[in-house]
Amino acid sequence: MSDIDARLREDVHLLGELLGNTIREQYGDEFLDKIEQIRKGAKADRRGAVLEKAAGDELSASLNQLQEDELLPVARAFNQFLNLANIAEQYQLIHRRDESQPAPFESRVLPELLARLQREGHSNESLARQLGRLEIELVLTAHPTEVARRTLIQKYDAIAAQLALQDHRDLTTAERDQIRERLQRLIAEAWHTEEIRRTRPTPVDEAKWGFAVIEHSLWHAIPNYLRKADHALHAATGLRLPLEAAPIRFASWMGGDRDGNPNVTAPVTREVLLLARWMAADLYLRDIDHLASELSMQQASPALQAKVGDSVEPYRAVLKQLRERLRATRQWAHASLTASTPAPAEVLQNNRDLLDPLELCYQSLHECGMGVIADGPLLDCLRRAVTFGLFLVRLDVRQDSSRHSAAMTEITDYLGLGRYEDWDEDARISFLMKELANRRPLLPGYFKPSADTAEVLNTCKEVAAAPAASLGSYVISMAGAASDVLAVQLLLKESGVQRPMRVVPLFETLADLDNAGPVIEQLLLLPGYRARLQGPQEVMIGYSDSAKDAGTTAAAWAQYRAQERLVDICREQQVELLLFHGRGGTVGRGGGPAHAAILSQPPGSVAGRFRTTEQGEMIRFKFGLPDIAEQNLNLYLAAVLEATLLPPPPPEPAWRHLMDELAADGVSAYRAVVRENPQFVEYFRQSTPEQELGRLPLGSRPAKRRAGGIESLRAIPWIFGWTQTRLMLPAWLGWEAALSKALERGEGELLGQMREQWPFFRTRIDMLEMVLAKADADIARLYDERLVQPDLLPLGAHLRDLLSQACNVVLGLTGQSQLLAHSPDTLEFIRLRNTYLDPLHLLQAELLARSRQQEAAQDSPLEQALLVSVAGIAAGLRNTG
């Protein structure tokens, strides 16, 4: 057993024991014995990675004998076990290491990359320039797979902090006892806190959750990771990161993403923008208060003295002026939440108003020989100001293309020009181009739009009213034509937007991805279009819906080819390209390790710029603790720098040809099951908690875009449902047929070469292997046995057979006897969780059966237990939605 296994098991054992004490206090020894019996039964069932039938039946029987009033506490117990196991695992990634142990990859990745780039011939100046100029934007999105409440997340963070304290070797017995007492108290607080919301969060609640991640984690991680990047650069080149460098910034969809979410309205967007300003001012005030107390020095540069006159404490004088302006900004933003209030002159409007006084103090300290003071908390505050600005995050707006078409139709109909929706693409473009060039308004002031059109126009008016620096891009989901982009530009112009704003088509289906290049080429060739760009052409690549449409084999290749074509077109047209990757947390939605994913992008597609979504529970797992956040920021920084300066070679013609065949076989196998099997939709609804997910108060957005079958489902419940039963179908379906057919054609050697030499293909196979290691046919079978009608059982058996084929073909390709044999730590984490996951899966199947028979009320213990089981499984599997 490795050192990490031993330490992880010690921590999990300790946290489990303390949770057991808490449960015993509330429910007594007899109930705790039941929990322990179930846990031991689950552990005994696992022989390697297989749930044995006899032992499984015994475990099922003990769960089925639970009384109605025991269902919720049992579900809660295993949910909490899994959350505590997650905390222990996260802590193991960042725990204190002694000098004899190698530093983790995340700490070494940038220094090692800089050394490699120097060996490749990159000069010190070019490395410093490129690192300082990187533009990486992580776009935080609210998704209903983040089920944990904020109050619990804070308690989990405090538990992690106590584990860190316990790791100090020079603790006395009394100090160790004190830490154990604190852990016991925190675990009791978590246990006695209801872990699931009773009501759906509003979009504003979701935005506040995003701001909390910044406040508690990213606010601390940003200056730390930049300090280390600066040290690495200086050690390698002798040069420093410039003060204005902010390689990684943050944007958000929380409060701006109205695609299929009627709860995100123009007033909601306005409120979220104001809350961000309030939060930013509040966070800077804490920093400035601290700096004003620390910077008591008297000696100052002539520039600083000129600014404050003959003040005895010049630094404090400057900072106190800034503090007053920050207070005025916070007060105004708060007041504006309830009534529209003109901003007084003291309110900070431009980021320079924040940066100038900080830079003045910084330069003065350096000039006066106090650089060691300047490079402390003052530099940290400067780094935050450059990264977060006055607006904390840039808010994107997202809306479905059909809403814009409907608004345009109402407008053209009202003006007596005919119905926009009935026009062909040429007619639409002709009309839109003419109106974009026209100086007069399109609509008279007395035009009274319908509620839907009014909402589209009011959103555009909020965009016009907001400061440019507070907004990111306007994303058009389900975009398919050049007119989709022009229509938004016209609606923005009509609403008073007088500055360029990035209007970004999101290409989501297989057909739309194939058409992405021609659409962008057509736009770039239109007269006047480039003048409205004033920056890069941004294009969003949709991972979730393309995978739901065609399976991950065909979708991944379509995404790759679309990016290649966009790179070529923008190079030909001499326009900079910014690709925005709409990745979910799961493999089925384009997820997976970010570092590998970035390095597997087509050459030229990551040219110093990278934009991607960070979704749902993955935000907490990757950025919820400052040290973990720092590691992930390091990975993004290094990967984008490497992809920019050492892009992978283009694929060989033989690889492309084989990938075309794999994609064709993959989509055909995927659609044969998902679209062409008449029993499939009904099987999905019976065998997974899909119907129940729609009722659960997980996120502010409905589970469906509209009534209908699989095509109407959002990608999230589609993935989430299959993950809960461990079949993981969307992540692998199609690969088993595609790879098997390639092997039958004798192309095994070529597949091996592609895996060895082509980062794109290697990353896809690695992610496939990871998700197959988490899949479990025996667990999926238990759901079928409890929930599915007899006539649908053969379909379930067929799908589990396909899963087995997928596992076998991947093992054959990787030459391993066991999935993830090359990654024992990951295997250990999965094994550790299965002990707690197995009872939850079995309990969930039982709860689903009872719920469907009884039609239980929303707030009944049975429904609450079902929701807790969903949350626990999501926590245990991590990248679930």
- 548 part of the active site: yes
CB 586 within 8 Å of CB 879: yes
Distance CA(462)–CA(444), nearest Å, equals 19
What's the chain's Rg over C-alpha atoms? 28
d(Cα 561, Cα 578) in Å, to the nearest integer? 16
- 299 C-beta neighbours (distance < 10 Å), count: 14
| Chain position carrying tokens 């006047």 | 528
Whether 515 contacts 555, CB under 8 Å: no
Residue 295 falls in which region: left (phi positive, over 0), alpha (psi -120 to 50) or beta: beta
∠ Cα 726 728 733 (to 5°)? 145
Catalytic residue, from 208, 307, 404, 548: name it.
Answer: 548
Q: How far is CA 878 from the centre of its chain?
A: 12
| Alpha-carbon gap, residue 715 to 730, rounded angstroms | 10
Q: Which helix H or strand E contains 526, and what residues bound it?
A: none
How far apart, in Å, are the Cα atoms of 512 and each of 479, 556, 590, 666? 7, 13, 17, 18
Q: What is the DSSP string of 16-45?
A: HHHHHHHHHHHH-HHHHHHHHHHHHHHHHH
Catalytic residue chosen out of the listed positions 143, 208, 404, 741: 143
Give the 3-state secondary structure of residue 137: strand
Q: What 3-state DSSP class applies to 345? A: coil
For residue 551, give both structure tokens: 């399976």
In which region does residue 779 sit, left (phi positive, over 0), alpha (psi from -120 to 50) or beta (all else)? alpha
Separation between Cα atoms, residue 584 and residue 596, nearest integer Å: 15
Token digits of residue 36: 């322990």
* Exposure b/e, 632-661, CB count within 10 A at least 16 = b: bbbbbbbbbbbbbbebbeebeeebbebbee
C-beta separation of 541 from 611 below 8 A? no
Write down the residue that tokens 């966009």 correspond to: 566
Q: Which helix (H) or strand (E) holds 473?
A: strand 471-477
Active site residue 307: no
Angle CA 660–663–664, to nearest 5: 85
> Which run of H or of E encompasses 570?
helix 552-573
Nearest to 408 by CA among 438, 432, 440: 432
8 Å CB contact between 839 and 61: no
The C-alpha atoms of residue 587 and residue 572 are separated, in whole angstroms, by: 33
Cβ atoms of 586 and 720 within 8 Å: the answer is no
* Amino acid letter for position 734: G
Run of H or E residues at 505: strand 503-507
Catalytic residues: 143, 548
